[in-house]
Amino acid sequence: MKTYRIAGALAAAVLFSGSALPSEEQFNLEPASLAQLEEAVRSRGDPARGREIFLDTRDAQCANCHRIQGVGGHVGPALDSIMEKLDIRQIAEALIAPSRKLAEGYETYTIARTDGKILSGLKLKDSGKELLLRNGLGKDTVIQKEQISRIEKSPVSLMPARLVSRLSRKDLVNLISFLKNPAAQLKLNGRLSRAWITGPFSRSISRIEPLEKNPDPAKVAVSSTGKLLQWKLINARADGLIQLAGPVAAKKSSSYILALMKSDRAREAVLRLDHSSGMRLLVNSETVYSSRNPARNSRLSIRLRKGWNTILSRVSNPTGDSTLGIRYEPARGLRLTADRQD
């Protein structure tokens, strides 16, 4: 049952894929076809290309639901240890025929409410008085039991049958190769996948002194107009970038993004920054980086103290869709997160 639970989790990882690439005959569950797939993964699989497919937000979209090394979505469980639990054929079966062996805990429920609205998704919690339902986009909905007129458990996986037909044979081989390659997965390590954000602030004001001196998501921030602003958690996109959008990041403004970095000792660490607009970065309230221009994979050496360190970025948002990516060069004893309990 444990093996099938992971298989069901993996099946949901390629939910909501893009357009098909039907130029080649697809693999199937026939023994000869599975043998060909296994041989191709072992001899020709490209885990680096598979990593790109895992992160792709248009086609396979695996990372929209699942995460590896902290990168990806929060619909299902992390897949870091998938290579230890399933062999190549089991992974292929979970992807090609996801409803064949539904895992306990990953069944789809359809709920009809008394107001006529129909909802479907994974049932995360049933307290007796209310249900917590999560749909394929990761949105959670609390439904009071008294509002439910009918609830049904579906024998069909959230992942549509034959969804991997949207991938070419080559891409399927490369995706499985990545899922079976711990070294390729480790290259995702170090990315900031979740952070706190607050704003918007006027770009004409260079800094908000109280906020920069003591950034704390438990405290409200004060905008340049005196408005009280709450910190909100935000997940990075599947490609590892945090997008400034919504009420906390209005066009022609700036926002603050806060993360925490833990070190097992005082040391130097290296960050890699990707930003589509100007930004300033503070480590423990000291400015260590400032740029008015976009940058990609910019290398920054920082000094950390033992224990928790604050990593605060002020990012300008001239067009209303700026992005920020922060990752550290992997080293034992380092952790980059949004919460001390993550």
**By C-alpha distance, which of 150, 64, 70, 69 is closest to 115?**
150
Q: Residue 1: its pLDDT value, please?
A: 42
**By C-alpha distance, which of 242, 234, 233, 245 is closest to 321?**
245
Q: Angle at CA 172, nearest 5°, toward 10 and 45?
A: 110
Which tokens go with 268?
């130097």
How many C-beta neighbours within 10 Å does residue 189 have?
18
CATH architecture designation of domain 108-154: Roll (2.30)
Distance (Å) of CA 219 to CA 197, 208, 231, 249, 313: 12, 14, 8, 19, 17
Cα distance between residue 150 and residue 57, in whole Å: 34
Cα distance between residue 170 and residue 41, in whole Å: 9
Cα distance between residue 307 and residue 335, in whole Å: 10
Q: Where in the chain is the domain with CATH 2.60.120?
A: 194-337
**By C-alpha distance, which of 199, 216, 342, 194 is closest to 279?**
199
Q: Where in the chain is the domain with CATH 1.10.760.10?
A: 2-102+159-186
Q: Torsion-angle region of residue 64: left (phi > 0), alpha (psi -120 to 50) or beta? A: alpha
The topology (CATH level 3) of 194-337 is: Jelly Rolls (2.60.120)
Identify residue 160 by its one-letter amino acid code.
P
Q: Residue 4: its pLDDT value, please?
A: 43
pTM of the full structure: 0.61
Among the four given CATH numbers 1.10.940.10, 1.10.760.10, 1.10.10.60, 3.30.70.890, the one describing domain 2-102+159-186: 1.10.760.10
Which tokens go with 120?
């479907």
State the virtual CA torsion across 169, 175, 178, 179 in degrees, nearest 10. -120
Cα distance between residue 228 and residue 220, in whole Å: 6
pLDDT digits (tens, 9 = 90+) for 60-101: 667 777 778 767 776 766 777 666 788 999 888 888 887 777
Q: Where in the chain is the domain with CATH 2.30.30.100?
A: 108-154
Q: Torsion-angle region of residue 246: left (phi > 0), alpha (psi -120 to 50) or beta? A: left
Q: Give the DSSP per-residue string, 96-141.
A: H-TTTTPPTT--EEEEEETTS-EEEEEEEEE-SSEEEEE-TTS-EE
Q: Residue 3: its pLDDT value, please?
A: 44
Which residue positions in the chain have pLDDT lower than 70? Answer: 1-26, 57-61, 70, 74, 76-77, 81-83, 102-104, 159-163, 204-206, 221-227, 238, 341-342
Residue 269: helix, strand or coil by DSSP?
strand
Q: Residue 291: its pLDDT value, please?
A: 96
Q: CA gyration radius for the chain?
A: 22
Which tokens go with 49?
């290309």
Cα distance between residue 255 and residue 314, in whole Å: 6
Q: Residue 226: its pLDDT value, please?
A: 62
Q: Residue 205: its pLDDT value, please?
A: 65
Identify residue 154 by its one-letter amino acid code.
S
